[in-house]
Amino acid sequence: MDSPTLARISHQIARELSVAQPQVVATMGLLKEGSTVPFIARYRKEVTGGLDDTQLRNLEDRLRYLTELEERRATILKSVAEQGKLTAELAAQFNDAATKNELEDLYLPYKPKRRTKGQMAIEAGLEPLADSLLSNPDQNPEAVAGDYLNVDMGIPDNKAALDGAKYILLERFAEQPALVGELRQFLQQQGQVHATVVPGKENEGAKFADYFDHREAWKSMPSHRALAVFRGRNEGVLQLNLVLDPDQYAADYPEGMIAHHLNVPVSGRAASPWLKEVVRWTWRVKLLPHLETDLFGTLREKAEEDAIRVFGRNLKDLLLAAPAGPRVTLGMDPAYRTGVKLAVVDKTGKVLDHGVIYPHQPQNRWEEAKRLVVAICEKYQVELIAIGNGTASRETDKLATEIAREYPALKLNTLMVSEAGASVYSASDLAAREFPDLDVTIRGAISIARRLQDPLAELVKVDPKAIGVGQYQHDVSQVALARSLEAVVEDCVNTVGVDLNTASAPLLSRVSGLNATIASNIVAFRDEHGRFDARTQLKNVPRLGPKAFEQCAGFLKVVQGKNPLDASAVHPESYAVVERIVQATQRSVSSLIGDSAFLRTLDAKAFANEQFGLPTVKDIIAELEKPGRDPRPEFKTATFREGVEKVSDLRPGMVLEGVVTNVTNFGAFVDVGVHQDGLVHISALSHQFIKDPSDFVKAGDVVQVKVMDVDVQRQRIALSMRLDDEPGQDERTTAGNRSARGRQDAGRSDTKRPAPSRETAGAGQSAMAAALQQALQGKRK
């Protein structure tokens, strides 16, 4: 790409992000060199002028779009030039096009196309007829047409001649870029999406009943409803049209816009009726189908972007959930017939033991199960019991609670853990390589135990899409979704940092500058040579070159290594700054670390130079205050009420504690311990107006909710976080819950939980999976 083009891109991005162009140019250079967003955000602040990770991600996305735009522009310019039609004026118009739509509108008249009726009419000699009637509408079309008959060219009568002329004009009119742009803008502001049921599909498509006759403004249609109607169309239940509000506009209003824009006399002249028919055909045959497809495509893109943003936000909250920390943990993967799988892991996640107990129906070996669990906890000094929140989870929680109460000397804490994606991991090639001799069900119990210790370290082993905290995830671009979620995982991993001596290969592969191959090489090197004592040893790992070391070193921590700075986020390239501080203060590195009172007396400017600017020095001093600090919140969990274990146990008016499992545009889903998430509609989150639920709650939050409505048959729970609400008092809240559920039921077909290997089909569903069956797009378990 040439310099003027790069300058144009950088100028546009700078304007859109409200930053200086030199910041954008510098960042583009770093990205081109192979630097990652986490590395640039943390260690190149002087270069970028302090752009944060959100700005950098937006810059990266816009750079990708504008690069594609420029590549398409170059292709179009070449195509038009090869046709011999590229003038200086036309080239300027192409170069001024700011969006892909504008570019394609300009290209439309020059775009190679199949032989059209208009082209055939021109070949038959009818273009002079079309031009004559347009330029001199006082002529009678029937009288003029007789001069252009040509039986050999398929023009035997006046009708054929006039039809041919009509096709010539309507194709010409439909390829006017300014007209197309004007109509597109009008429809964006005034158009309505009209969904109707395909006749005969009423019963088959009952889940789309809310859209059997639904109108909504194109410009304000929220993403979840847009994706719902598109799914209905894809399943053959709904048909969609772009229409105008009949109370404001006549159905033929755009035809008048076309006539006015092109100055076509559609009344008062001899040829006006014929010209009016040409305009009508231009709209209905050419422009309306084109713009409808175009605007529906744009609406889908906007809805997908929003859905992907929601998924990414929820995934980030889940990945950055509070870790319980390095404690010996017993993972329990509940089930009825096939038993509760057990796995004990030590403080580092290493598997110590595993087994199965059968406390539930049909075996009902309750006391025997208690004895076995107690023996395991005593043998390995278990501190935490992690219970998967799926089938038989509340019954298993009751078992663990009894043990903790009857054996207080064990000092056990029992906690419910999300199973999201556990079965996906346990059946994966990664799990098979990690535990080749263990059954997939035991692998699931191990995953549950480890994700309590450190959710981030364990969840990176699961395809982000399988964690299922999005909405309509299977209806969006899978390429864009994967790209977004990969970026979220990368940002989360690098925000927290990774222990070089304990991290798994999947976790290491998410570190800035590393990939799966290098991550595996690091683990192999560690297995062969023992633990790393210094970051510099990374340079001995096969295929980890200087660039990879630069990108990854600051995010990899060596705890209790030779150099205390190796356990911090201070990059090795900046150790010289710390050395200058040591020399100036006559203090050792070890004595500086953690001495906040002293470090705050330092003048950062005194240690800055051309190589390491003030932002970097300030970051270094802040890191010395709290080296290796974990940005994740303090660990806490919800306490589910005893005796409330299934939907039928719920009663309107109950106030319960629960955990937010998912946040969507229309509300938040909360697990209250009944194997079915309840919905807090956006209107019931607070007495204050809330535009975006994510501004108020996030996945993992422990909240109090009141039960407003329970539908046992349909497994639906309406909740409110406004605890002074009374069931039946505010019909808007209950209706809002039902409405959101109904709309999202359109997405239930691909959210069924896969049959788990440890339980027979139909034996039950996890709370999270059941909620997703009703409302979301993402496989949980």
In contact, 121 and 251? CB cutoff 8 Å: no
305: how many CB neighbours lie within 10 A of its CB?
16
Q: Which helix (DSSP H) or strand (DSSP E) does residue 549 occupy? A: helix 546-552
Dihedrals phi, psi of 706, to nearest 5 degrees: -110, 135
655: three-class secondary structure by DSSP:
strand
233: how many CB neighbours lie within 10 A of its CB?
17
Count H helices, E strands: the chain? 33, 15
Answer whether residue 753 shows pLDDT above 80.
no
In contact, 232 and 746? CB cutoff 8 Å: yes
Reported confidence tier of residue 741, pLDDT bands at 50, 70, 90: very low
Answer yes or no: is 71 within a domain.
yes
> What is the residue range of 341's domain?
329-462
Same domain membership, residue 340 and residue 280: no
Instruction: Convert 268-300 to b/e letters by CB count within 10 Å (16 or more is b).
Output: eebbbebbbebbbbbbeebbbebbbebbbeebb
Q: What is the pLDDT of residue 390?
A: 83
Q: What are the tens digits of pLDDT across the range 290-323? A: 999 999 999 999 999 999 998 998 899 889 988 9
In contact, 169 and 130? CB cutoff 8 Å: yes
Same domain membership, residue 130 and residue 92: no
Going by C-alpha positions, the residue among 46, 20, 271, 83 that lies closest to residue 165 is: 271
Q: What is the pLDDT of residue 729?
A: 61
Q: What are the tens digits of pLDDT across the range 20-56? A: 999 999 999 999 999 999 999 999 999 999 999 999 9
Q: What is the mean pLDDT of residues 170-192?
A: 96
Answer whether residue 640 shows pLDDT above 80.
yes
Answer yes or no: is 234 within a domain.
yes
How far apart, in whole angstroms, are the C-alpha atoms of residue 133 and residue 128?
9
The CA-atom distances, in angstroms, between 715 and each of 235, 284, 532, 633, 749 are: 24, 46, 52, 33, 16
How far apart, in whole angstroms, are the C-alpha atoms of residue 552 and residue 595?
27
Reported confidence tier of residue 415, pLDDT bands at 50, 70, 90: confident
Q: What is the pLDDT of residue 471?
A: 67
Residue with tokens 């295929």: 543
The CA-atom distances, in angstroms, between 173 and each of 97, 168, 285 are: 20, 9, 12
Answer whether residue 742 shows pLDDT above 50.
no
Q: What is the pLDDT of residue 642?
A: 81
383: three-class secondary structure by DSSP:
coil
Q: What integer best gives the mean pLDDT of the chain? A: 89
The CA-atom distances, in angstroms, between 60 and each of 36, 711, 769 are: 10, 46, 34
Strands across the sheet containing 340-345? 351-357, 340-345, 329-333, 384-388, 413-417
Answer whether residue 243 shows pLDDT above 70.
yes
Q: What is the mean pLDDT of residues 617-623?
A: 95
How far apart, in whole angstroms, are the C-alpha atoms of residue 637 and residue 635?
7
Amino acid at 166: K
Reported confidence tier of residue 219, pLDDT bands at 50, 70, 90: very high
Q: What is the mean pLDDT of residues 674-689?
A: 90
3-state secondary structure 189-258: HHEEEEEEECCCCCCCCHHHHHHCEEEEEHHHCCHHHHHHHHHHHHCCCEEEEEEECCCCCCCCHHHHHH
Cis check for the bond before 359: say yes or no (omega within 30 of 0): no
Q: What is the pLDDT of residue 389?
A: 85
How far apart, in whole angstroms, are the C-alpha atoms of residue 250 and residue 139?
30
Q: What is the pLDDT of residue 338?
A: 94
Same domain membership, residue 249 and residue 160: yes
Answer whether residue 771 shows pLDDT above 60.
no
> Which of 272, 306, 340 is the C-terminal boundary of a domain?
306
3-state secondary structure 556-623: EECCCCCCHHHHCCCCHHHHHHHHHHHHHHCCCHHHHCCCHHHHCCCCHHHHCCCCCCHHHHHHHHHH
Dihedrals phi, psi of 561, to nearest 5 degrees: -90, -170
Reported confidence tier of residue 490, pLDDT bands at 50, 70, 90: very high
Q: To the nearest 10°, the Cα dihedral for 11, 16, 17, 18? A: 80
Reported confidence tier of residue 2, pLDDT bands at 50, 70, 90: confident
How far apart, in whole angstroms, are the C-alpha atoms of residue 565 and residue 623?
10
User: What sign results for the dihedral spanned by CA atoms 307, 309, 310, 312?
Assistant: positive
Answer whether residue 464 shows pLDDT above 60.
yes
Of residues 426 and 729, the one with the higher pLDDT is 426
The CA-atom distances, in angstroms, between 140 and each of 144, 285, 471, 536 are: 6, 25, 59, 89
* Cβ within 8 Å of residue 741, ≥6 positions away: 679, 716, 774, 775
> Which of 110, 133, 166 is the C-terminal boundary of a domain?
110
Same domain membership, residue 729 and residue 715: yes
Reported confidence tier of residue 465, pLDDT bands at 50, 70, 90: confident
How far apart, in whole angstroms, are the C-alpha atoms of residue 233 and residue 226?
11
Hey, what are 58's tokens? 């937006």
Residue with tokens 């909620």: 771
Q: At what angle do helices 253-262 and 272-281 cross, to 10 degrees?
A: 110
- The least confident of 185-194, 397-406, 638-647 is 638-647
* Cβ within 8 Å of residue 220, ≥6 positions away: none
> Which of 552, 568, 584 is the C-terminal boundary of a domain?
568
Hey, what are 192's tokens? 């309505």
How far apart, in whole angstroms, are the C-alpha atoms of residue 449 and residue 446?
5
* Cβ within 8 Å of residue 769, ≥6 positions away: 390, 753, 779, 780, 781
Answer yes or no: is 82 within a domain.
yes
Same domain membership, residue 563 and residue 583: no
Could you tell me the CATH number of the domain that includes residue 517?
1.10.150.310
Q: What are the tens digits of pLDDT across the range 532-581? A: 999 999 999 999 999 999 999 999 999 999 999 999 999 999 999 999 99
Q: What is the mean pLDDT of residues 747-763?
A: 31
The CA-atom distances, in angstroms, between 282 and each of 74, 179, 190 are: 30, 11, 20
Same domain membership, residue 231 and residue 201: yes
Q: What is the pLDDT of residue 736?
A: 44
Same domain membership, residue 349 and residue 274: no
In contact, 455 and 319? CB cutoff 8 Å: yes
In contact, 658 and 638? CB cutoff 8 Å: yes
Q: Which DSSP letter does residue 287 get?
A: I
Amino acid at 682: I
Q: Which residues pair with 150 in a beta bridge?
A: 155
Could you tell me the CATH number of the domain that includes residue 714?
2.40.50.140
Same domain membership, residue 574 and residue 555: no
Say what percent of the chain tops pLDDT 90. Answer: 75
Answer yes or no: is 311 within a domain.
no
Could you tell me the CATH number of the domain that includes residue 46?
1.10.10.650
158: how many CB neighbours lie within 10 A of its CB?
17
Q: What is the pLDDT of residue 773?
A: 36
Could you tell me the CATH number of the domain that includes residue 381?
3.30.420.140
Q: What is the mean pLDDT of residues 181-209?
A: 95
Q: Which DSSP letter does residue 315 get?
A: H
Q: What are the tens digits of pLDDT across the range 256-285? A: 999 999 999 999 999 999 999 999 999 999
Q: To the nearest 10°, the Cα dihedral for 129, 133, 134, 139? A: 160
Q: What is the mean pLDDT of residues 677-683?
A: 93
How far apart, in whole angstroms, are the C-alpha atoms of residue 461 and residue 319?
12
Answer yes or no: is 20 within a domain.
yes
Provide the strand spans (E) within 141-188: none
In contact, 172 and 264? CB cutoff 8 Å: no
Reported confidence tier of residue 402, pLDDT bands at 50, 70, 90: very high
Same domain membership, residue 670 and residue 745: yes
Same domain membership, residue 354 and residue 418: yes
Hey, what are 563's tokens? 């150099």
Q: What are the tens digits of pLDDT across the range 79-112? A: 999 999 999 999 999 999 999 989 999 999 999 8
Q: What is the pLDDT of residue 659?
A: 87
Q: What is the pLDDT of residue 310?
A: 87
Give the distance, in angstroms, between the CA of residue 234 and the centroid of all CA atoms in the same chain: 21
Same domain membership, residue 435 and residue 347: yes
Answer yes or no: is 319 within a domain.
no
Same domain membership, residue 687 and residue 561: no
Reported confidence tier of residue 674, pLDDT bands at 50, 70, 90: confident
Q: Which helix (DSSP H) or strand (DSSP E) does residue 709 occupy? A: strand 702-711
The CA-atom distances, in angstroms, between 7 and each of 28, 49, 72, 216, 520 are: 11, 18, 17, 41, 40
Answer yes or no: is 483 within a domain.
no
Reported confidence tier of residue 644, pLDDT bands at 50, 70, 90: confident
Answer yes or no: is 396 within a domain.
yes
Count of structural domains, the chain: 6
How far apart, in whole angstroms, are the C-alpha atoms of residue 391 and residue 763?
7
How far apart, in whole angstroms, are the C-alpha atoms of residue 133 and residue 747?
53
